[in-house]
């Protein structure tokens, strides 16, 4: 059963936390919080057939924040004494520069997150290094067995075990234990002078047993090897505007870049997003409904509560093509007078809270994926992607395919080399003409960067067809 997280884990009493919050409670401060975090990260990695490296890191600290109007004062410390809390509080409240407030900070009422999305796994987070080593050895053997042209296999297994407690000036004292793990495999294939790379991976808020279940780790190894071998026969990608069919799952990175970032409340409050003032307007075709859902069990982007102690939710961003809602943290929800969606996230105690995505995906449509491909005379079918990026202000986004094929006369034909796709966020989804009934979430490898902060996220997509998008290949 779920045990509420105690501040005692950090050697801090409730009274000390209360005292620090009280110190932050000057007149012009609207909100303040303390974020205690302890994180243990472990990794093992292999290359050239041997597990060469093992690493472990431990960090612990507190982030202290006060907001006043649009201003945020923030300090952090890796020492957790009463004195350090006080100094951090004095730094954070500096932005308010006003005398002591009239009303006292409410006594925090201990409460627990309303749900437990990643139970069981917690107990199993501790796994002997030898077992991890064995896992990687089996992966290496499997990838090389797939094809003798696989000349190197690089694999890494990373786990993170994070304990957080948030104490807020609005009376919450709430904690969570957030396990996270990821297995990542890269294969190099060589055929004479032709060398190619293939990658695959997966994970989530899951324990070690997840990777061995149904020999999942071996299927990852075969996928990475398959992509590398496939790319040996890939031809140069085409250049120009054409129809593109995206496969389900990880290609959902399209939504993350084209739509998701532009709907984060901070950019819209500041009116620096291409989506500012588009709520209620059409930004996608009516076959598109897109949600951000932090409540899916065991997913990489899921959280019982966000980093301000707000329970995560499933937020409908776009409903049948109409923009419905931005994703918010407390500061931006308050300043904009819009609902709190539980998307206030931070990389660690050293970073400030920003509105961030959790798991962002498009709901299934009605088309048969085969029909979608058959409907394209000449275009591109993109199955897997590397990273993507967006310019929030002008809405232009890119994402780069790592496995793609030509579609000719309704049939998937030749594999093509990776190419970057570029489009305009507020426009691209209006060009989605067909959405498959095959919604798939990604395997749990996504990491989103914003303002120098990385947080784990998920994406998902059914097979879909974009009538036209610019493909950045080299061939006419």
Partner 1 sequence: MLQEFSSQKDTANGYAQLAADVLARAKACGATEADIVVADGETLSVQVRVGAVDRLTKAREKRLGLRVFIGKRSATTSTSDFTQDSLKRLVADTCTLARAVVEDDVSGLPDATQMATEQPSLDLYDETVVNTETQIDWAKRGEAAAFAADPRVTNSEGAEFDSSSGRVVLANSHGFVGSYKSSNFSLSVSPIATESGTGAMQRDAWYEVQRKFARLASAESIGQEAARRAIRRLGARKVATKRVPVVFDQETAGSLLANLCSAVSGYGLYKRASFLLDKMGQVIASDLMTLYDDGRMVGGLGSRPFDGEGLATRKNTIVERGVLKSYLLDTYSGKKLGLPSTGNASRSVGESPSVGPTNFYLVPGVKSPQEIIGSVKEGLYVTELIGFGINMVTGDYSRGACGYWIENGELAYPVEEITIAGNLKQMLKDIEVIGNDLVFRGRIASPTLKISEMMVAGN
Query: Where in 426-465 is the site for partner 1 (CB under 8 A)?
Result: none
| Residue 206 sits in the site that holds partner 1 (CB under 8 A) | no
Supply 17's token pair.
Answer: 């936390």
Which of 7, 16, 32, 73 contacts partner 1 by CB under 8 A? 73
Least distance (Å) between residue 376 CB and partner 1: 19
Least distance (Å) between residue 108 CB and partner 1: 25
Of residues 150 through 169, those in contact with partner 1 by CB under 8 A are 151-152, 154
Which of 39, 41, 40, 38 has the alpha carbon at shortest distance from 11?
38
C-alpha to C-alpha distance for 335 and 250, rounded to whole angstroms? 34
| Residue 219 sits in the site that holds partner 1 (CB under 8 A) | no
Q: Which stretch binds partner 1 (CB under 8 A): 90-98, 119-127, 243-251, 322-330?
A: 90-98
Question: Which C-beta is closer to partner 1: that of 177 or that of 237?
Answer: 237
Which of 375, 389, 388 has the alpha carbon at shortest distance from 464?
375
Give how far Cα 222 sits from Cα of 155, 329, 383, Å.
Answer: 12, 41, 16
Question: Which C-beta is closer to partner 1: that of 118 or that of 399?
Answer: 399
Binding residues with partner 1: total (CB under 8 A): 84
Which of 33, 37, 84, 329 contacts partner 1 by CB under 8 A? 84
C-alpha to C-alpha distance for 212 and 45, rounded to whole angstroms? 17
| Residue 121 sits in the site that holds partner 1 (CB under 8 A) | no
C-alpha to C-alpha distance for 180 and 172, rounded to whole angstroms? 25
Q: Which run of H or of E encompasses 185?
A: strand 172-191
Give how far Cα 76 sits from Cα of 85, 91, 244, Å.
Answer: 9, 9, 46
Which residues, at least 6 apart from 283, have a Cβ–Cβ distance to it below 8 Å? 259, 275, 318, 321, 322, 323, 426, 429, 430
Question: Which C-beta is closer to partner 1: that of 115 or that of 431?
Answer: 431
Question: Which C-beta is closer to partner 1: that of 228 or that of 464?
Answer: 228
Specify which residues 307 forms β-bridges with: none
C-alpha to C-alpha distance for 60 and 241, rounded to whole angstroms? 50
| Residue 393 sits in the site that holds partner 1 (CB under 8 A) | yes
| Residue 79 sits in the site that holds partner 1 (CB under 8 A) | yes
C-alpha to C-alpha distance for 247 and 263, rounded to whole angstroms? 24
Which of 203, 184, 194 has the alpha carbon at shortest distance from 228?
194
C-alpha to C-alpha distance for 235 and 75, rounded to whole angstroms? 52
Of residues 236 through 275, those in contact with partner 1 by CB under 8 A are 237, 239-241, 270-272, 274
**How many residues are recorded in the chain?**
476
Q: Which stretch binds partner 1 (CB under 8 A): 182-190, 243-251, 288-296, 459-467?
A: 182-190
Least distance (Å) between residue 409 CB and partner 1: 22
Supply 45's token pair.
Answer: 């990695």
Q: Which stretch binds partner 1 (CB under 8 A): 166-174, 191-199, 300-308, 373-381?
A: 191-199
Query: CA-CA-CA-CA torsion for 25, 31, 32, 35, nearest 10 degrees?
Result: 160
Question: Which C-beta is closer to partner 1: that of 96 or that of 165?
Answer: 96
Least distance (Å) between residue 28 CB and partner 1: 12
Question: Which C-beta is closer to partner 1: that of 31 or that of 94?
Answer: 94
Least distance (Å) between residue 189 CB and partner 1: 9
In which residue are the tokens 């989103």 written?
Answer: 448
Q: Which stretch binds partner 1 (CB under 8 A): 56-64, 172-180, 287-295, 453-461?
A: 56-64
Which of 55, 107, 120, 235 contacts partner 1 by CB under 8 A? 55
Contact between 427 and 437 under an 8 Å Cβ cutoff? The reply is: no
Encode 241-287 in three state secondary structure.
Answer: EEEEEECCCHHHHHHHHHHHHHHEHHHHHCCCCCCCCCCCCECCCCC
Least distance (Å) between residue 186 CB and partner 1: 8
Of residues 287 through 346, those in contact with partner 1 by CB under 8 A are none
Question: Which C-beta is closer to partner 1: that of 71 or that of 282?
Answer: 71
Q: Which run of H or of E encompasses 367?
A: none
Q: Which stretch binds partner 1 (CB under 8 A): 55-63, 202-210, 278-286, 310-318?
A: 55-63
| Residue 22 sits in the site that holds partner 1 (CB under 8 A) | no
Question: Which C-beta is closer to partner 1: that of 159 or that of 312?
Answer: 159
Supply 129's token pair.
Answer: 């290094």
Question: Which C-beta is closer to partner 1: that of 192 or that of 271?
Answer: 271
User: Is residue 152 classed as helix, strand or coil in its secondary structure?
Assistant: strand
| Residue 414 sits in the site that holds partner 1 (CB under 8 A) | no
| Residue 372 sits in the site that holds partner 1 (CB under 8 A) | no
Binding track over 351-370 against partner 1, x by CB under 8 A: -x------------------
| Residue 108 sits in the site that holds partner 1 (CB under 8 A) | no
| Residue 192 sits in the site that holds partner 1 (CB under 8 A) | no
């Amino acid at each position: 059963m779920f045990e509420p997280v105690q501040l005692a884990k950090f050697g801090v009493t409730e009274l000390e936390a209360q005292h620090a919050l009280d110190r932050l409670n000057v007149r012009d401060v609207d909100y303040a919080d303390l974020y205690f975090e302890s994180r243990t990260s472990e990794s093992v990695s292999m290359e050239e057939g041997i597990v060469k490296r093992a690493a472990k890191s431990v960090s612990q600290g507190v982030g202290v924040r006060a907001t006043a109007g649009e201003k945020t004062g923030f300090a952090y410390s890796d020492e957790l004494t009463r004195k350090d809390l006080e100094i951090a509080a004095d730094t954070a409240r500096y932005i308010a520069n006003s005398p002591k407030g009239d009303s006292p900070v409410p006594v925090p009422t201990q409460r627990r997150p309303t749900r437990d999305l990643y139970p069981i796994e917690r107990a199993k987070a501790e796994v002997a290094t030898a077992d991890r080593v064995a896992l990687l050895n089996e992966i290496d053997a499997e990838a090389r067995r797939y094809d003798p042209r696989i000349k190197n296999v690089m694999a890494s297994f990373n786990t993170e075990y994070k304990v957080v407690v948030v104490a807020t000036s609005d009376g919450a004292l709430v904690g969570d234990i957030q396990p996270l793990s990821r297995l990542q495999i890269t294969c190099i294939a060589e055929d004479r002078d032709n060398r190619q790379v293939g990658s695959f991976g997966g994970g989530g808020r899951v324990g070690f047993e997840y990777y061995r279940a149904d020999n999942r780790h071996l299927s990852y190894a075969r996928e990475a090897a398959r992509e590398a071998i496939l790319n040996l026969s890939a031809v140069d990608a085409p250049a120009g505007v054409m129809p593109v069919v995206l496969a389900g799952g990880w290609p959902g990175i399209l939504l993350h870049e084209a739509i998701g970032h532009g709907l984060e409340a901070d950019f819209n409050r500041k009116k620096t997003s291409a989506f500012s003032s588009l709520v209620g307007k059409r930004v996608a075709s009516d076959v598109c409904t897109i949600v951000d859902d932090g409540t899916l069990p065991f997913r990489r982007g899921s959280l019982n509560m966000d980093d301000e102690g707000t329970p995560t939710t499933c937020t409908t961003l776009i409903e049948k093509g109409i923009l419905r809602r931005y994703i918010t943290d407390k500061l931006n929800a308050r300043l904009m007078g819009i609902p709190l969606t539980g998307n206030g996230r931070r990389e660690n105690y050293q970073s400030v809270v920003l509105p961030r995505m959790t798991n962002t995906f498009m709901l299934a449509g009605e088309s048969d994926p085969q029909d979608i491909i058959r409907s394209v005379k000449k275009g591109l079918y993109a199955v897997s992607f590397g990273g993507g990026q967006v310019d929030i202000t002008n809405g232009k986004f890119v994402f780069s395919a790592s496995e793609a094929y030509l579609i000719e006369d309704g049939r998937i034909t030749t594999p093509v080399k990776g190419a970057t796709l570029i489009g305009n966020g507020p426009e691209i989804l209006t060009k989605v003409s067909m959405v498959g009934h095959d919604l798939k979430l990604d395997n749990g490898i996504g990491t989103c960067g914003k303002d120098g902060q990385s947080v784990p996220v998920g994406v998902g997509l059914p097979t879909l067809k974009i009538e036209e998008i610019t493909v950045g290949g080299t061939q006419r």
